[in-house]
Amino acid sequence: MHSGATNGNGHASDAGALPPLSLSILGVEPLDEFIREVADFIHYQISTRPQDLVGAVEVEAKIGILRDRDTGKRLQLPILTETILAPNAIDMRFEANMSAKQHQHYNELLNKLKTTPTSAHPSSTLAYQHLHLVDTFYAQDGGGRGDKVRVTRDEKTGTVLECVRKIRLADLNIYSPKRAADWRISVNLEVPVPPPLGTSTHSRKKDRMRYSHEEFVIDLTQVTSTAGGNAKTEVLHELELELARPEYLLSTAAKRGDANVSEHDRGAFDELIRAFVNNARILVRNADGGWQ
């Protein structure tokens, strides 16, 4: 190459330095289709939820494995990167249980973050609670959507903290072939109900470590389930991320795309979901392979 080489604009090129680049030929960054798809999914479920049922909208992401329903093995698809799967397109199941070793791995990771703020937000550390809860489940008269009532009590005091009927609205499965785990986003409706009468069908104890960060809650839980009678006790380990303020979620969803509000308010919902997706991705990418 001779010393008089030029770039496409006729200017002398300097192979040693990259000039400032535009985000695109239009000067803007193209919309992230993945995050937009998640935001559209959650917004649709919020907008079309049953209006005759008054309750809190719960949006959560669980970390786990997508398994082929026939073989029981982890899903294998001709896909190289993280992908949202079309609902009901594949015969599969989602398994949220992880090994005790993986549970410990996440516990150590989150405990470090609890005391070490990020460089981007030096004042934004994780708040921590260690909760001991007991859930008891009761069949609901008449059946219907969310046909079980869950009563949650503080294990130490017996105080009833919550009595709800949980209705699952929809799930969105995310396949992550380069990672040790996949994830699932669920949108649910938790409807408060009076304390039920009769005998519970089953119960579970939850030893839960809760980490709160800005608009999000991360729950790392050891669940001990008992079905009653001579049924075998089952111990599970689960990790989930949840939006902390359902009322704020609904407020931002109502303003999404509204030309009568500020640009900041108009985009707040998508920004909230972007951070939600990023946090879920961080948890998935820190999985170390200890899945059952």
Q: Are strands 56-68 and 83-84 parallel, antiparallel or unpaired?
A: unpaired
Report how far residue 227's alpha carbon sits from residue 200's, in angstroms, rounded to the nearest whole number.
9
Dihedral sign, Cα of residue 86, residue 76, residue 30, residue 260: positive
DSSP summary character for residue 2: -
Per-residue pLDDT of the chain (292 residues; tens, 9 = 90+): 454 455 555 555 556 899 999 999 999 888 899 999 999 999 999 999 998 889 999 999 999 999 999 999 999 999 999 999 999 999 999 999 999 999 999 999 999 888 776 665 566 778 999 999 999 999 877 655 666 899 999 999 999 999 999 999 999 999 999 999 999 999 999 999 998 888 898 999 999 999 999 999 999 999 999 876 677 889 999 999 999 999 999 999 999 999 999 999 999 999 999 999 999 999 999 998 666 5
Report how far residue 116's alpha carbon sits from residue 130's, in angstroms, rounded to the nearest whole number.
19
Report how far residue 47's alpha carbon sits from residue 250's, in angstroms, rounded to the nearest whole number.
9
Output the six-digit token pair for 10: 């006729």
What is the torsion angle, in degrees rounded to the nearest 10, for the CA atoms of residue 246, residue 43, residue 143 and residue 154? -20
**pLDDT for the residue numbered 122:** 60
**pLDDT for the residue numbered 114:** 82
- Cβ(134)–Cβ(120) below 8 Å: no
DSSP summary character for residue 107: H
Helix orientation angle between 246-255 and 263-285, rounded to the nearest 10 degrees: 130
- Cβ(251)–Cβ(153) below 8 Å: no
Residue ranges of domains in the chain, CATH in brackets: 52-285 (3.20.100.10)
List of E strands, 54-159:
56-68, 83-84, 92-95, 127-139, 148-154
